[in-house]
Amino acid sequence: MRTFLLGTAAMTATTFAQPAFAQAVDAQEADAMRAEIRELRTRLEALENRLGAPTTAQADAAAQPPALAATGTAAAAAVPAKKPADEVKIQWKGSPQIVQGDHAFKVKGRIQADANYVSAPKGLDDRGLGFGSEMRRIRFGGEGAFSNHLSYKLELELSDNAVDLVDTFITFKDGPWQLQLGNQNPFWSLDELTGDTSGSTMERAAFTDAFAFERRLGLGAQYSKGALIAQLGVFTDDITALANSSDGVNGGDENNSYSVDGRLVFAPKLGDVQLHLGASGHWRRLGRLADATTRYRQRPYVHSTNTRLIGTPAMNVEDETMYGAELAAISGRLHGVAEYYTLNANRVDLPSVAFHGAYGEVGYFLTEGDTRGYKGGIFTTNAPAHPLGDGGIGSIQVNLRYDWLDLNDRDIRGGTQNGYIAALVWSPVQYLRFNVNYALLQYTGATALPSGNRNYDANVFATRFEFDF
């Protein structure tokens, strides 16, 4: 068939070339006929491609002298085929995320605004109590990836009228191994590691603040496989304390403190139940900071007041040792969690003292289809199963928590706090939450009233609006 069509095309061309015919047509008609020949050739090649036969171009190449054909092949090999550029994709995950191949970037931000009221005995004259409101956090930054193995995160936070770096690190990940270098959490407790927009109450457990859980500059390693997560790192101090502008003998250039921190998590899933068992250990040498003073103290639940009703006196602490235990479970709408922490402060030229903290909590979603999120050894948030405006009202969660802190040991009488907290969390759509909390705080050995009484109660009413993307 190919021979027939080629012959037909050749005969047609030959006929057109006859002098008698050429005299009968003008130049314009000759051009039109040549165009028809080209079109016929194109159709022929298309037909040959369909039948799997060599194309006319390939046949022409085969008909070339060997030397010429070899030259053409070498020239084609010398120009490698261009790899098509990866398509740039824009995805929406609370904010635009730009993805091109292995590269990605996403803008991150957070807004939290609080309005709270702390009611303490009338005899306690403290202007830090009563009504207070604040922008709890304003955070902005971004995260992205250089490749499948390298990623980064950078966030700035405005809090207490100061701008600080929060999560600021580079991560290398290969299979089950992960290395993270920069400003990060040194594998503290479950409650501390869970994000503040993923928590079940507005504020974390009292011991996390009293024992100065915070982000610190250092290197952390993680191994994760199946239900097992092992974490270990070496850290210095928080970046504000390391700044050269810090005053006194413990200024940034004098700060040589460091710590070794580790955490082990076993999180199997038994049917529909997600279990969490965890333990952590921490040792910190304060170094030259031991020449300064250390205090362990805590606010009456909310951050909008700087008043501390319980707290230790100033101490010279040489090193700290901490241990913690974690237990949690999620089953459908229901979750439960409990933690215990102890801190041993080794004082300079004095006996060491130990302080303790713990909490227990249960929570339940009133809305059908909603459950508490969990990933990577911490609690996370899930999008509402039925968001507002899409046939539902969003997710509604109620939580009850008991929170205990004991700052008494030996000659140190820092006081104790027993907190009973009820929380309501409404998330109409993903990334947006409203919180209403009530806390009854029962103190023993707290700041003395004019009468000398150090045992009394405080009531806290707290609200928060938060948007996270």
Cα separation, 40 vs 411, whole angstroms:
104
Cα separation, 464 vs 469, whole angstroms:
16
Do residues 434 and 389 make contact, with C-beta atoms less than 8 angstroms apart?
no
Cα separation, 423 vs 397, whole angstroms:
8
Q: How confident is the model at residue 13 (pLDDT cuts 50, 70, 90)?
A: very low
Tell me the whole-structure pTM to 2 decimals: 0.80
Q: How confident is the model at residue 50 (pLDDT cuts 50, 70, 90)?
A: low
Q: Which residues, other chains included, contact 91 with Cβ-Cβ below 8 Å and sequence gap of 6+?
A: 97, 99
pLDDT tens digit sequence for 128-146: 899 999 999 999 999 999 9
- Residue 357, CA distances (Å) to 6, 42, 119, 322 in order: 92, 83, 23, 11
pLDDT tens digit sequence for 387-440: 999 889 999 999 999 999 999 999 999 999 999 999 999 999 999 999 999 999
Cα separation, 140 vs 113, whole angstroms:
15
Q: How confident is the model at residue 126 (pLDDT cuts 50, 70, 90)?
A: confident
pLDDT tens digit sequence for 172-191: 999 999 999 999 999 999 99
Q: Which run of H or of E encompasses 42? A: helix 27-51
- How far is C-alpha 3 from the geometric centre of its chain's CA atoms? 68
pLDDT tens digit sequence for 197-249: 999 999 999 999 999 999 999 999 999 999 999 999 999 999 988 987 766 66
Cα separation, 440 vs 313, whole angstroms:
25
Sequence spans of domains, the chain: 2-78, 108-468
The 8-class DSSP code of residue 411 comes to: T
Find tokens 């499948």 and name the residue. Answer: 148
- For the chain, give the number of residues: 469
Assess whether pLDDT exceeds 90 at residue 261.
yes
Q: Which run of H or of E encompasses 43? A: helix 27-51
Do residues 333 and 364 make contact, with C-beta atoms less than 8 angstroms apart?
yes
Per-residue model confidence (pLDDT) at position 187:
97
Assess whether pLDDT exceeds 50 at residue 63.
no
Do residues 401 and 417 make contact, with C-beta atoms less than 8 angstroms apart?
no
Q: How confident is the model at residue 26 (pLDDT cuts 50, 70, 90)?
A: low
Q: Which residues, other chains included, contact 46 with Cβ-Cβ below 8 Å and sequence gap of 6+?
A: none
Cα separation, 230 vs 223, whole angstroms:
5
Neighbouring-strand partners of residue 119: 459
**Residue of 305, 342, 303, 297 lying closest to 443 (CA atoms):** 297
The average confidence (pLDDT) of the chain is 87
Bridge-based pairing of strands 258-266 and 228-235 is antiparallel
Q: Which run of H or of E encompasses 357? A: strand 353-365
- Residue 419, CA distances (Å) to 83, 129, 146, 400 in order: 63, 17, 46, 11
Per-residue model confidence (pLDDT) at position 81:
58
CATH of 108-468, one of 3.10.450.30, 3.40.50.300, 3.40.50.720, 2.40.160.10: 2.40.160.10
Per-residue model confidence (pLDDT) at position 82:
56
Q: Which residues, other chains included, contact 231 with Cβ-Cβ below 8 Å and sequence gap of 6+?
A: 187, 220, 221, 222, 223, 262, 263, 264, 265
pLDDT tens digit sequence for 313-343: 999 999 999 999 999 999 999 999 999 999 9
Do residues 229 and 222 make contact, with C-beta atoms less than 8 angstroms apart?
yes
